[in-house]
A and B are shown apart, each in its own frame.
Chain A
Amino acid sequence: MRWLLLKDLQILRRSPLLVALLVVYPVVLALLIGTALSRGPGNPSIALFNEVPRQERTFDLGGSAVNADEYLPQLTRSVDVIEAGSRAEALELVERGKALAAVILPPDIADRLATGRQQPTIEVAYNGEDPVKQRFVESVVKARMADANAALSRKYEQITAGYIDMLLDGGEVTLLGRRVPILGLRASKAILDGVIARLPPGSPSRIALDQVDRFATLAIQNLGVSNDVLRSVGQPIAVRRTVIGGRRTPLDDYAVAVAAAVSLLFLTVLLAAGLLALEREEHAFARLVRGLVSKLGLLVEKVALAAACSLLVALALLVGLGLLFVELDFARLPLWLAALALGATAFAALGVALGGLAREVRAASLLAFLLSLPIAFLALVPSGSVSGLANDAIAVVCAIFPFKPTLQALDVAINDAPGTLAAPLLHLAALTAAYLAIARLALRRFA
């Protein structure tokens, strides 16, 4: 078998363009997918025209000065803002495609917020020619408006809570430039209790004052919980996040595992499929299997060579990423190697099965390519993000192809993700045996 290995290495060495393509293509693809996964979507551009004159952006709210500009960041968070000089300019920016949407703040927004009697309305305009883009803009604008409303609501809650505290405990307010002391309910009740104690029992004044005292007690008790009630009105539902099972790997680290798995997939499957199909294309297969090497031996040789080559490339990719871009724990290198080796072997077994079925290098390469893309894509679809039947179909595809278990093994090995390494490795070993059996059957009609 070693002579066959040496022969294949010699052939690869004499095909530098092919080897370069086989290495560069999956690595570039893997890095692109990894980058896309780790960065998420870019910020959308929004044109903003603020019609409120700068000097009128501060308004009085229950005696507190509120600057509306303080709430603009909530509206423009995670979007790239293009300041427009007029409403027409903002709309034109959207029409020309420079901005996804235009947000126009009306001139009376500060007045309306100050009085609280009329709800201010913000105008949002967007281009509806692309439904995907439109849906994206709608969700972004809705999310930003919710953030701005929540921030304003907190401000209202804060001011109202201050007044309630003053009603309870007293304080000072400024009226016409003069500071006016406010007694407060608790102090009033204490004075009232003192007066009542000095009145004779059965006195009509005492009976009347007792009624006032009971009201004061009730008011103190109820206003004491009003801050909590206000908080509930401002934010009726609070969210407590708990991760139950699954992955807790940061997205950047997960992207590294995805990049390694993708490069391993493409390189190994294409190489193994091509190497086996080449034996038939060169008419050497029949000569080899008439006693020089067994059919299973030939398959094992192709699997070993393809797996070894792709393991080296994927390992180099990981080391490069670890040294230059992300922080990886190099102490886990033995686990990386185990995951890479089993993943590469399973991919190579899939490759020889495809090579055996396709029988020609071009057909085998095309088949390997056509199959690899959807396998990788489907394995990256988050579970629960599609309907039940599609979810089941994806789960089956993920179970019968080696990409998902390879990704799980690499995630555990590289990122110490929850779960054991043994389960995906056993899965990969079973898939390797199954694909080798398919390849062996395919060789019956190979010569």
Chain B
Amino acid sequence: MPAAATSAAPAPTALTVTGLTKRYGDRVALRGVGFEAAAGELVALIGPNGAGKTTMLSILAGIQPPDAGRVSRPPREIGWVPQQPAVYSKLSVAENLRLFARLERVADPDAAVAAMLAQTGLADRAGDEVGRLSGGNRQRVNIAIGLLAAPPVLLLDEPSSSLDPRQRARLWEFVTGLAEAGTTVVYSTHDVQEAERYADRVLVLADGELLFCGTPAALQAAVGGEATGPRDFEASFVRFLHERGH
């Protein structure tokens, strides 16, 4: 279950984003997007293709600068897990983790590597070349690298897109565990059911504009909920976009 839903007291704000704008020539990829995320909160970023999800995550991660707006935390305090595993396939799991721990200037790289291997359940595959791992395990290494510096905020760009259902379930078990431990997780996904199931809040982006920020239930309510007939979350999402001209 999402961590924020079970918290007794309101969690402190871990991330504040205000007025993010990004242009590529004449095209506006993001128009003044802003939101807040609490510590331990799971925030899903959903929207149609070209909505600006990856652009927003890459700005939050510090990969590209915004044309306007600000992010409350510097990139060093935000862990980033790209959609494609950003790992060296010729290096072993442990070597990949050790390399990035050193580049992140983690105080005790070996201890951080050991902790991540234990946390991701990859201790028995530590010596294996990443290129020989399954897609699910490779994604676990990818996430482990994002977590090496123990960031308070973790960004996941479509983390389950290349995984089979079993690997997907394991991934979400791991991610919700992180949130329960206090890490704020912001993830983008095309699978709106995943957003409904695992997110405390969803952000709906379309054409670079933030159309909605609230719980999945609030999104369903925004389009009339069950009152307008039985409808699953995906249908509500599509209707929501349709009603707003997208």
Contact = CB atoms under 8 A, between A and B. Distances in A.
Contacts of A4: 103
Interface in B97-150: 99-100, 102-104, 129, 145
B103 A284 contact: no
Contact of B61 (A3, A11, A290): A290
Interface string B65-100: 000000000111000101011111111000100011
Contacts of B74: 291
Interface in A148-176: none
Contacts of B87: 282-284
Nearest to A13: B90
B169 interface: no
A10 B129 CA distance: 12
A212 interface: no
Interface residues of B, number: 26
B86 A11 contact: no
Nearest to B85: A283
A287 B62 CA distance: 10
Pairs A-B, 6 closest by C-beta atoms? A283-B86, A292-B103, A283-B84, A287-B86, A11-B90, A290-B62
Contacts of B100: 287, 292
Contacts of B88: 7, 11, 282, 284
Contacts of A10: 90-91, 95
Interface residues of A, number: 19
Contact of B99 (A7, A14, A283, A286): A7
Contacts of A291: 62, 74-76
Interface string B47-72: 00000000000100111100000000
A15 interface: yes
Interface in A5-36: 7, 10-11, 14-15
8 contacts: A7-B91, A11-B88, A282-B87, A282-B89, A290-B62, A290-B80, A291-B75, A292-B104
B75 A290 contact: yes
The main secondary structure of chain B at its interface with chain A is: loop
Nearest to B61: A290
B50 to A, nearest CB: 18
A447 interface: yes
Contacts of A14: 90, 129
A4 B95 CA distance: 12
B79 to A, nearest CB: 10
Contacts of B75: 290-291
A408 B58 CA distance: 47
B145 A287 contact: yes
A290 B151 CA distance: 14
A289 interface: yes
A187 interface: no
A4 B91 CA distance: 12
Interface string A331-349: 0000000000000000000
A291 B151 CA distance: 14
A447 B102 contact: no
A426 interface: no
Contacts of B104: 292
Given A15-B90, A447-B63, A286 B103 contact: no
B153 to A, nearest CB: 13
Contacts of B61: 286, 290
Interface in B155-177: none
Nearest to B98: A3
A288 interface: yes
Nearest to A285: B86
B86 A282 contact: yes
A276 to B, nearest CB: 14
A4 B61 CA distance: 21
Interface in A203-229: none
A130 to B, nearest CB: 50
A293 interface: yes
A4 B99 CA distance: 8
Interface in A263-318: 282-284, 286-293
A283 B82 contact: yes
A11 B75 CA distance: 28
Among the interface residues B89, B104, B129, B145, which one has the most CB atoms of the partner chain A within 10 A? B89
A13 to B, nearest CB: 9
Contacts of A289: 63
Contacts of A292: 100, 103-104
A10 B102 CA distance: 16
B226 to A, nearest CB: 42
Interface string B13-28: 0000000000000000
Given A287-B145, A290-B80, 19 more contacts: A3-B99, A7-B88, A7-B91, A10-B90, A10-B91, A10-B95, A14-B129, A15-B90, A282-B88, A283-B82, A283-B84, A284-B87, A284-B88, A286-B61, A287-B100, A290-B75, A291-B75, A292-B104, A447-B63
B207 to A, nearest CB: 23
A11 B63 CA distance: 25
Contact of A287 (B82, B91, B102): B82
A291 B76 CA distance: 7
A275 to B, nearest CB: 12
B240 to A, nearest CB: 31
A184 B99 CA distance: 103
A291 B102 CA distance: 13
A286 B58 contact: yes
Contact of B86 (A3, A7, A286, A293): A286
Contacts of B129: 14
